[in-house]
Amino acid sequence: MKILFWLPQADASTWLAGLRHALPGAELREWQPGDTAPADYAIVWHPPRELFAAPRGLCAVFNLGAGVDAILALEREHPGTLPQDALLVRLEDSGMAPQMAEYVQHAVLRYLRRFDEYALQQARREWHVLAPHPRESFTVGVLGLGVLGAQVAQAVAALGVPVRGFSRSAKTIDGIETFSGELRGPQFNAFLDDVNVLVNLLPATPDTENVLNAATFDKLARGAYLVNVARGTHLVEQDLLDALKHGTLAAATLDVFYTEPLPPEHAFWREPRITITPHSSALTLREEAISQIADKIEALSRGKTVSGVVHIQRGY
């Protein structure tokens, strides 16, 4: 079995050693420009289009992350890039959900207890006790109830705040009030109504692009908070700055950006009510990712089906 590997800006040798250990007998190689030789599987993150240029006979392409937007953007810009008969398989949790849950819990607690405002007060050397927001009505809305969103919603509910979730298809999740349907439809509006913290865990698709916009912010409780841990393309950046200026939103925690790394001159760096992290809310963990992918490669080689297969037309 031949496997191609591509992970920019990382130590490929450690990954290759781990994969060789998990898949003894497989012939693994790091893809190099000009390599057009056959391969059964590809394991990639943000691959260049050239990696798919040769007809290699790939059965499956494994994405080294949960979001497949970068690969599907290649396909949208250059239809036919992805090999027609190959499955596209993404990572499912593989250690990301606990990291994401911690990150979002931290942001929710910080806003609930108004630590963001204490930080601003500290910078001005001001001493004022602020009443915490009432926990029983501090509603958190999680956009996207997939592998990560469902676990994040439950982790936030464990803090004792009311939690709602929104997805395309109907879901039942213990302790979560669920809504489903079309983004921008009546159920979406009902979901947003009076939400105090909006957490975004949608995949980046043509349908979800720009969903975090002025019209969405206007439907939340006045002075709500935004936590975007999904993708920068979900957010209309100027609408966030305007919403902060007008008090529609009180603050935002952003892990993902339209342009990454966030350019030094970007206005977000100068807005003290925006908290910035460098796309680090949930990192791909090497051992967990290798183990999940190796199990799936073994299953596929035995003719079995696997979970996590991306629906290309749907975009996630």
Q: Which residues are catalytic?
A: 231, 279
Q: Does 254 bind ligand GLV (CB under 6 A)?
A: no
Six token digits for residue 173: 């999740």
Q: Give the CB-nearest residue to ligand GLV.
A: 65
CA-based nearest residue to 242, from 279, 277, 207, 215: 215
Minimum CB distance to ligand GLV, residue 284 (Å): 6
Cβ proximity to ligand NAP: between 209 and 298 the closer is: 209
Distances (CA, A) of 287 to 16, 18, 37, 87, 94: 11, 7, 27, 22, 9
What, of ligand GLV, ligand NAP, none, does residue 291 touch, CB below 5 to 8 Å by kind? none
Q: How far apart, in whole angstroms, are the C-alpha atoms of residue 207 and residue 215?
A: 16
Residue type, 122: Q
Looking at residues 61 to 120 of the shown chain, list those that interact with ligand GLV (rule: CB under 6 A): 65-67
Looking at residues 269 to 298 of the shown chain, list those that interact with ligand GLV (rule: CB under 6 A): 284
Cβ proximity to ligand GLV: between 67 and 83 the closer is: 67
Q: Give the CB-nearest residue to ligand NAP.
A: 146
Q: Could you tell me which stretch among 12-20, 59-67, 108-116, 220-228 binds ligand GLV (CB under 6 A)?
A: 59-67
Cβ proximity to ligand NAP: between 114 and 231 the closer is: 231
For residue 302, count CB atoms less than 10 angstroms from its CB and return exposed for 0-12, middle for 13-18, buried for 19 or more.
exposed
Which of 88, 148, 173, 197 binds ligand NAP (CB under 6 A)? It is 148
Instruction: Evaluate whether 71 touches 47 at the Cβ level (below 8 Å).
Output: yes
- Give Cβ neighbours of residue 234 (< 8 Å, ≥ 6 apart): 200, 202, 204, 208, 209, 210, 211, 212, 228, 256
CA atoms within 13 A on the CB side of 220: 29
Which residue ranges make up the site for ligand GLV (CB under 6 A)? 65-67, 284
Which residue ranges make up the site for ligand NAP (CB under 6 A)? 66-67, 96, 144-149, 167-169, 183, 201-205, 207-208, 229-231, 255-256, 279, 281-282, 316
